[in-house]
Homo-oligomer: A and B are copies of this chain.
């Protein structure tokens, strides 16, 4: 069934029908589509644009279709070009030609974008909850095992000792900004487009505020062209998804490194690992690799839609049909990855002993040594040079900082005293970094407290069906 045959002499050819059809991917919007139609019909009835009786027949029919679709009992026809057409055809079969009155004062242009806005709002709510859940998983591990000392890296080289908790919490704050970004985006999705008609509004005395209220929108679009032609909310959602995935990809990379033999800081649960068809010994961190890989996918979705939108004149153009598949793919991928990562975090086994051993290595407290001298009044730049020389000599002699005697230290600078031997201890290095946001244990506690507040604000545990 088509909604537009009147002026045409002939039918599209088959490859064109297929090329044009969107039912295969927009049918997932059926709940939103029916909700939008019901709100519209209700409003048409209340404003007297159609009779109360007709409105009732339509809303009743739509409710039945919803039930049918929920139960998988609705029969789609190969000729339904999209979900809107399918619903309207179904309605006609149920209530006869009154179904045609549903189209009064609206167009597929404003209907389609309204469906999509409802869908995106719901997805944002789910994403916010899933982010909060991953934040909770990280915070829980940071609280229970976060005191373990591990090496901090820059340039993949050991830099300064940190704690596992500090490391895990850094992702909590990244994720909180991700959630905030989605929530900010939501205010720009939360605008009712319905009532914009094809592009110019409508001659019927519709009541858009009534529809907005019924559907849960806070605002009504101020300009009908803008209402049907823009998809910036899709771009923004995808950009937010790509940024979140980028964060996940960084953590995924670290998990892959940590679970390697070389690092050995953690073991991934078998539940999130797989093996090899040829190498019997393999246990691979597939969950993390897939998350890292799927980052490309979401970035690609964003790039696709930016390219689609570039240079499109107003108002609706068929190019915009490309909005849905890319959006759904980005949203589905992000939600799956968030769930997987929460599962991975909750089931990971950390090896505190390996971490601690790795931290006690490679001149990792050299900065503490320089700070020590700086405190005694030498400019930090000079202190840095002195310690650089100590390191150079140690490398040549194959020594560690703890192998250097006090006398030897004094040869480098008379300012070194006995307490220097304490300062270069890894544990002391961690404890002494008490600046706000630093790695000292009491700072970790503050971070955890702060995070609990953010998590509570962001959402609850996602329900199983979310």
Within the assembled complex, what's the spacing in Å between the Cα atoms of A418 and B405? 53
- CB-defined contacts of A167 to chain B, threshold 8 Å: 225, 314
Question: Which residues A213-228 have CB closer than 8 A to chain B?
Answer: 220-227
- CB-defined contacts of A391 to chain B, threshold 8 Å: 6-7, 280-281
- CB-defined contacts of A284 to chain B, threshold 8 Å: 154-155, 157, 318
Number of interface residues of A (CB under 8 A): 203
Q: Is A312 an interface residue (CB 8 A)?
A: yes
CB contact between A367 and one of B279, B289, B301, B310 (< 8 Å): that residue = B279
- CB-defined contacts of A282 to chain B, threshold 8 Å: 4, 7, 154-155, 157, 159
Within the assembled complex, what's the spacing in Å between the Cα atoms of A367 and B180? 43
Shortest A439–chain B CB gap in Å is 5
Copies in the complex: 4
Q: Do A9 and B392 contact each other (CB < 8 Å), given the known contacts A4-B282, A276-B4?
A: yes
Name the residue on B nearest A315 (C-beta): B154
CB contact between A387 and one of B6, B16, B19, B271 (< 8 Å): that residue = B6
Within the assembled complex, what's the spacing in Å between the Cα atoms of A243 and B232? 7
Within the assembled complex, what's the spacing in Å between the Cα atoms of A305 and B271? 27
CB contact between A155 and one of B157, B285, B305, B369 (< 8 Å): that residue = B285
Q: Is A78 an interface residue (CB 8 A)?
A: no
| Contact in complex: A223, B169 (CB < 8 Å) | yes
- CB-defined contacts of A240 to chain B, threshold 8 Å: 239
| Contact in complex: B261, A166 (CB < 8 Å) | no
Name the residue on B nearest A257 (C-beta): B313
Name the residue on B nearest A206 (C-beta): B435
| Contact in complex: A4, B275 (CB < 8 Å) | yes
Q: Is A108 an interface residue (CB 8 A)?
A: yes
Within the assembled complex, what's the spacing in Å between the Cα atoms of A375 and B56? 18
Q: Is A283 an interface residue (CB 8 A)?
A: yes
Shortest A284–chain B CB gap in Å is 4
Which residue among A88, A279, A308 has the maximum number of chain B CB atoms within 10 Å of its CB? A279
Within the assembled complex, what's the spacing in Å between the Cα atoms of A162 and B229? 14
| Contact in complex: A314, B20 (CB < 8 Å) | no
Question: Which residues A278-303 have CB closer than 8 A to chain B?
Answer: 278-287, 289-290, 292-297, 299-303
- CB-defined contacts of A181 to chain B, threshold 8 Å: 184, 188, 236
Which residue among A101, A270, A296, A301 has the maximum number of chain B CB atoms within 10 Å of its CB? A296
Within the assembled complex, what's the spacing in Å between the Cα atoms of A130 and B321? 25
Shortest A376–chain B CB gap in Å is 12
Question: Which residues A1-28 have CB closer than 8 A to chain B?
Answer: 2-13, 15-16, 18-20
| Contact in complex: A199, B280 (CB < 8 Å) | no
Q: Is A272 an interface residue (CB 8 A)?
A: yes
Taken residue by residue from 152 to 180, chain A's Cβ proximity to chain B (1 for < 8 Å, 0 otherwise) reads as: 11111111111000110111111001101
| Contact in complex: B371, A204 (CB < 8 Å) | yes
Name the residue on B nearest A320 (C-beta): B293
| Contact in complex: A310, B249 (CB < 8 Å) | yes
| Contact in complex: A389, B275 (CB < 8 Å) | no
Q: Do A379 and B436 contact each other (CB < 8 Å), given the known contacts A7-B391, A296-B307?
A: no
Q: Do A301 and B300 contact each other (CB < 8 Å), given the known contacts A6-B387, A280-B388, A437-B221?
A: yes
CB contact between A296 and one of B102, B290, B322, B432 (< 8 Å): that residue = B322
Within the assembled complex, what's the spacing in Å between the Cα atoms of A180 and B435? 34
- CB-defined contacts of A53 to chain B, threshold 8 Å: none
Within the assembled complex, what's the spacing in Å between the Cα atoms of A412 and B219? 41
CB contact between A224 and one of B230, B370, B439 (< 8 Å): that residue = B439
Within the assembled complex, what's the spacing in Å between the Cα atoms of A102 and B84? 50
Within the assembled complex, what's the spacing in Å between the Cα atoms of A426 and B362? 30
- CB-defined contacts of A309 to chain B, threshold 8 Å: 246, 249-250, 296
Q: Do A225 and B166 contact each other (CB < 8 Å), given the known contacts A160-B199, A272-B13?
A: yes
Could you name 6 residue pairs across A and B whose Cβ atoms are closer than 8 Å? A6-B386, A101-B374, A154-B317, A167-B314, A203-B434, A299-B304
